[in-house]
Structure 1
Amino acid sequence: MKKAIIFDLDNTIYGVPTIADGLFAPLFQYIKESGAHDDNFEAIKAEIMRKPFQVVAAMYHFSEALTKQGMELLSNISYKEPIQYFSDYEAARNITLEKYLVTTGFMQLQQSKIDGMNISKDFKEIHIIDPATSATTKKDVFAAIIQRHGYHINEVLVVGDDLHSEIKAAQDLGIDAIVYDKYNLQPDGMALPKINDFTQLMRFI
Structure 2
Amino acid sequence: MKHYRHLFFDLDNTLWDFETNSYDALESAFQQLGLYEKLTSFDDYFKIYYRINHHLWELYRNRDITKAKLIVKRFEDSLQEYGLPQPGKGEKINEAYLSQMPLKTQLIEGAREVLEALHKKYKLHIITNGFREVQHKKLVNSQLENFFHKVFISEVIGTPKPSREIFEHALKSSNARKQESLMIGDSWEADIKGAMEFGIDQVFLSDDFTDYVPQVKEKPNTHEIENKKGDSFQLTNGQTSTYFIHHLSELVNILM
**TM-score interval for Structure 1 and Structure 2 normalised by the shorter chain:** 0.7 to 0.9
1:158 CA drift (Å): 0.2
2:94 matched residue in structure 1: 74
**Does residue 117 of structure 1 match 2:139?**
no
Unaligned 5+ runs, structure 2: 40-44, 75-90, 217-239
More displaced stretch, 83-92 vs 150-159: 83-92
Counterpart of 1:196? 246
CA contact (8 A) 1:159 1:178 kept: yes
Identity %: 19
More helix per residue:
2
Equivalent residue number for residue 45 of structure 1: 50
- Map Cα deviations across residues 48-104 of structure 1 (whole Å, 9 max, x no partner): 3xx585426799x99xx9746247343662225351212311123321200001111
**Whole-angstrom CA distance in 1 between matches of 2:15 and 2:205:** 9
Query: Aligned residue for 1:184?
Result: 208
One-letter amino acid of the counterpart of residue 117, structure 1? S
Q: Which runs of 5+ in 1 are unaligned?
A: 34-39
Length-normalised TM-score, structure 1 = 0.73
Using the TM superposition, give the Cα deviation of residue 196 of structure 1 relative to its aligned residue in structure 2, in angstroms. 2.4
Q: Does the 8 A contact of 2:127 with 2:170 survive in 1?
A: no
Q: 1:92 to 1:69 in 2, by over 3 A?
A: same
| 3-state SS of 1:85 partner | coil
Q: 1:84 aligns with which of 97, 106, 110?
A: 106
The 8 Å contact of residues 101 and 127 in structure 1, kept in 2 or not, is answered as yes
TM-score by length of 2: 0.60
Cα RMSD, aligned residues only: 3.5
**1:106 equivalent in alignment to 2:111:** no
Contact 2:117/2:252 (<8 A) preserved: no
Shift of 1:136: 1.6
Instruction: Select the structure of larger CA radius of gyration.
Output: 2
Number of paired residues? 188
